Structures are given as structure tokens and as C-alpha cells.
Amino acid sequence: MKIIRTKDYEDMSRKAAGVIAAQVVLKPDSILGLATGSTPIGAYKQLIAWGRAGDLDFSEIRTFNLDEYRGLTRDNDQSYFYFMRHNFMDGAGIPVERTDIPDGSEPDAERECARYDAAIRAAGGIDLQLLGMGHNGHIGFNEPADEFPKGTHCVDLTASTIEANKRFFASEADVPRQAYTMGIQTIMSARKVLVAVSGEDKADIVYKAFFGPVTPLVPASILQMHPDVIVVADEAALSRCKL
């Protein structure tokens, strides 16, 4: 595991974008696993800027997203499909047909999860998987549990995750209670993993995830077992870690 300490969120965003850009330059037809949430927005903005300047070409890449709220249609402005179109895909000029996100409007969880895993396998697997990390150590929507889930699955969101996400909705009652998410095995099968973390409020979980025991009670801790992980984190997020 390689840990890159950055000054602040802006510096973290540029360096995380740099890792993704290097992947695209080295392999223009890369399969990218992407994440939503506030953390990667700065990196997406930087990638878009480099693309518009002619420094990056996204025309051959394919993308798969970590997760999607169950019960939201793709035109819902709180869906992750909408988020990705608005915050990255449209700006980077990536057509819809080269992106895949779990279909939250599909009521048959078993069918949708099987479809998604099959699509990732058919694409040849993920070259680089971008991750954020929740306050409880979740990656994707893999919440603390007694075991590490393997493939894409439907998960009940914890109270802490609902609390963290309610700022994006009109009220807490509007936050979906379930989501479709890639499983830990799918994430760990990516050839490279990039974790972006920012803020002092993440300091405790960063320490537990990357310097504590590997346990499904801290889902991100499994990344200690991956052969190629880059963590890009600002000073605040790494404040408990002695590097």
C-alpha cells in the first residue's frame, strides 16, 4: 500500500486525478471503476479540465460505478446515474453506452446484481477502482458486517450512512434505505485501487482501516490485502497516522 500525503482537499483532488490520468494515458481503453459522493468531485473536475485542454482522451474508456440507490430512477436528481452524468461523464464526453451503473429502478435485486457482475466480467474486469470511504469504513455501500460480501448485492443502509447522506435530500425520510453495490470481492479483483480521503472527521477511520486489524467490521481494512493500492489523503485525514 502506498500512501500519498497531501496538503488539503484541492491538493488531494489533483493528485488523485493524476493517478487516474496516468492510467488512461498508459491504457487508453481502460476499464475504470468510479465512485460518487463529495470526495471525488474535485478529481472529476480536474480530469474534465485536462480533457478539455487536450491532455487526456476519454473516448476509449469504459466505466462501472460502485453503487446506486435502490428505488431511484436514473432521471432522479439524487440518483448516482444523474450524479455521474452531471459531475463527470458529460463534461468528459463519455457517452452513456460506455458507462454502466446498477439500475436502481430494477425491483428484482437478484437479477440486477447478477447482470452487473456479468457485465464487469464480460468487460475483462476493472483496471483501476476509485474509492471513497465512509465514517464507518464502508467502501461502496459495503457496510460493517460479520463477513465480507463477495459480488454485487442489495444492502440495507446503516443509520450512520443515512445520516451522512441526508444532506443531499430534502429530508432524512427521503433517503433510500437500500442500495445496490459492488461486493468486496469485485472491488478486490480490480488490478489497481485508488482511495481518496479528506478531512479530520475521517482521521479515526483512516487509522483503523489502514493500520488496524483486517476485519469486516471495518470494510475498507480488506484493502490492506490488495497488491496495488494507492491512498491519497490530506493531512487532516492522516492526522492520527505516523508515516
Interval 103-108 mean pLDDT? 95
pLDDT at residue 170 in the model: 83
pLDDT at residue 174 in the model: 83
Query: Is 38 a residue whose pLDDT tops 80?
Result: yes
pLDDT at residue 133 in the model: 95
Query: Is 243 a residue whose pLDDT tops 80?
Result: no
Interval 12-33 mean pLDDT? 98
Residue 53 region by backbone torsions, left for phi larger than 0, else alpha for psi between -120 and 50, else beta: alpha
pTM of the model: 0.94
pLDDT at residue 188 in the model: 97
Interval 172-194 mean pLDDT? 93
pLDDT at residue 222 in the model: 98
- Output the nine-digit C-alpha cell for 41: 468531485
DSSP 126-189: -SEEEE---TT--BTTB-S-SS---SSEEEEPPHHHHHHHGGGSSSGGGS-SEEEE--HHHHHT
Q: What is the pLDDT of residues 47-101, one digit of tens each?
A: 999 999 999 999 999 999 999 999 999 999 899 999 999 999 999 999 999 999 9
pLDDT band at 158 (very low <50, low <70, confident <90, very high): confident
pLDDT at residue 202 in the model: 97
Interval 196-205 mean pLDDT? 97
Query: Is 33 a residue whose pLDDT tops 90?
Result: yes
As annotated, the active-site residues are: 67, 136, 138, 143
Domains in the chain with CATH codes: 2-234 (3.40.50.1360)
Q: What are phi and psi of 117, to 5 degrees?
A: -60, -40
Interval 131-157 mean pLDDT? 93
Provide the percentage of residues in the chain whose pLDDT is more than 90: 88
